[in-house]
C-alpha cells in the first residue's frame, strides 16, 4: 500500500511538472491560433505515456544511478588510487556520452546537413562516418572533462578560473573554426549533459567530495557538468577544422 501511495504521489508530481507545458500549448493552440488540437486522443495517450515515463525515470535515478555513482566514487576515494579514480572518471564520461540519445540525434542531423551542403559525400557510409566521428569526438572531450573535474576536486583548484580559461579557449577557436561547425559545436556542449550523463556525473562529484576530508560537497561536489558542457565545444571545433 505504501508503494502504491508513493507511485500515485510521484505521478501527480510529474503531472504538476508538465502542467505549465500543457497550459502553454493549449493556450496558443486554442486561443491564439484558434484551432482544435489535431489527433486529440493520440495526444492525450502520448501525454499519459510521458507522465509515466517521467515518473519511472525519476524513480530509476533515485534507486539506481545516484546511489551507484556516489558509492563507487566513495569506494575509489577509500581505495586511495588516483590512477584508477581518474581512469574511472574518464571511462564514465566517455561511456555515458556515447550512449546519450540527444547527442546521437544531433550527430545524425549534422551529418545529413553536411551531406546536403556538399561538405561530405551524400551517401550512407560518409554520413555514418561523419556522425560517428562527431559522437566519439564529443565523448572523448567529455571523458577528459570529467577527468579534469575530478582532478580539480582532489586538488581543490578553484573552478571559476578553469571555466574562464576554457571559455577564452572557446572564443579563440571560434575565430578559426569553419562557420559550418560552430553552431554544431555550441549545441554539442548542451546535448552532452542530458538524460544519462547528468545523474551519474553529478553523483560522482558529490560522492567524491563527501568522501575526501576537507572537501565540501556543496562547494566542491558540483561543477563537473560545467566541464562536460565546455570541452565538447572546443573539441568539435577542432574536429571541424580537421575534417575541413
Tens-digit pLDDT profile for residues 118-155 = 777 888 888 888 888 889 999 999 999 999 988 888 88
Grid cell in block for residue 86: 581518474
Confidence of residue 234 (pLDDT cuts 50, 70, 90): very high
pLDDT at 6 over 80: no
Confidence of residue 35 (pLDDT cuts 50, 70, 90): confident
Rounded mean pLDDT of the chain? 84
Prediction pTM value:
0.78
Give whichever of 4-18, 210-224, 228-242 has the largest mean pLDDT. 228-242
Query: How confident is the model at residue 164, as a pLDDT?
Result: 93
Exposure letters 138-160 (e unless 16+ CB within 10 A, then b): bbbbbbbbbbbbbebbbeeeebe
Count CB atoms within 10 A of the CB of residue 181: 23
Query: How confident is the model at residue 90, as a pLDDT?
Result: 92
Note the pLDDT tens digit of each residue in 65-119: 677 777 777 777 777 778 888 888 898 889 888 888 788 888 888 888 888 877 7
Q: What is the largest CA-CA distance in the chain?
A: 64
Give residue 163's region: left, alpha or beta (phi > 0; psi -120 to 50).
alpha
Amino acid at each position: 500500500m505504501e508503494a502504491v501511495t508513493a507511485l500515485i504521489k510521484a505521478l501527480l508530481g510529474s503531472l504538476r511538472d508538465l502542467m505549465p507545458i500543457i497550459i502553454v500549448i493549449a493556450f496558443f493552440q486554442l486561443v491564439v491560433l484558434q484551432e482544435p488540437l489535431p489527433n486529440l486522443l493520440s495526444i492525450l495517450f502520448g501525454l499519459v505515456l510521458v507522465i509515466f515515463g517521467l515518473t519511472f525515470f525519476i524513480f530509476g535515478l533515485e534507486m539506481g544511478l545516484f546511489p551507484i555513482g556516489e558509492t563507487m566514487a566513495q569506494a575509489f576515494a577509500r581505495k586511495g588510487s588516483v590512477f584508477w579514480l581518474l581512469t574511472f572518471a574518464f571511462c564514465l564520461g566517455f561511456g555515458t556520452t556515447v550512449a546519450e540519445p540527444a547527442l546521437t540525434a544531433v550527430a545524425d542531423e549534422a551529418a545529413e546537413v553536411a551531406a546536403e551542403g556538399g561538405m561530405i559525400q551524400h551517401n550512407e557510409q560518409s554520413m555514418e562516418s561523419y556522425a560517428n566521428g562527431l559522437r566519439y569526438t564529443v565523448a572523448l572531450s567529455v571523458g577528459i572533462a570529467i577527468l579534469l573535474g575530478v582532478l580539480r576536486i582532489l586538488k581543490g583548484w578553484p573552478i571559476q578560473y578553469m571555466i574562464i580559461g576554457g571559455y577564452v579557449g572557446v572564443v579563440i577557436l571560434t575565430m578559426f573554426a569553419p562557420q559550418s561547425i560552430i553552431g554544431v559545436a555550441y549545441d554539442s556542449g548542451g546535448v552532452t549533459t542530458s538524460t544519462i550523463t547528468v545523474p551519474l556525473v553529478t553523483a560522482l562529484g558529490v560522492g567524491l567530495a563527501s568522501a575526501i576530508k576537507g572537501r565540501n560537497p556543496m562547494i566542491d561536489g558540483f561543477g563537473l557538468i560545467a566541464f562536460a558542457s565546455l570541452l565538447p565545444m572546443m573539441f568539435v571545433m577542432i574536429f571541424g577544422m580537421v575534417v575541413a
